Amino acid sequence: MSTICLFGADYESPRALHEALKNLLEFPDYYGMNADALNDCLGEFPDCPALWYALNGTEEVNAALKLAARVFADNGGEVKEL
């Protein structure tokens, strides 16, 4: 299982966060850049990656990161706030 480490301060918007997830996880071009699309794509993984994250971004980015963490956890991924 792989581990993804995200720092909220690295992203200027929730969309930028989802663009990073798309690239890191090699999601298809049609990835919808939201929590529902994240859930759909993670559901296709045999083993959900672990997510380690830091809430040090803007309020909007931190909210998107918290939601992403819940999606990872719902799909069986280990989640750890740094």
Which CATH number goes with the domain that contains 14? 3.30.370.10
User: What's the rounded Cα separation, in Å, for the pair 9 and 62?
Assistant: 9
Q: Check the CA dihedral 55-38-15-27 and report its sign.
A: positive
Within-domain flag for 20: yes
Within-domain flag for 46: yes
Which residue segment(s) compose the domain that 9 sits in?
1-54
User: What's the rounded Cα separation, in Å, for the pair 79 and 73?
Assistant: 6
User: What's the rounded Cα separation, in Å, for the pair 48 and 45?
Assistant: 6
Within-domain flag for 39: yes
Within-domain flag for 61: no
pLDDT at 1: 66
Within-domain flag for 44: yes
Query: Per the structure, how many domains does the chain have?
Result: 1
Residue 70: its H or E element: helix 59-74
pLDDT tens per residue, range 9-66:
999 999 999 999 999 999 999 999 999 999 999 999 899 999 999 999 999 999 999 9
Angle between helices 59-74 and 35-42 (to 10 degrees): 30
pLDDT at 73: 97
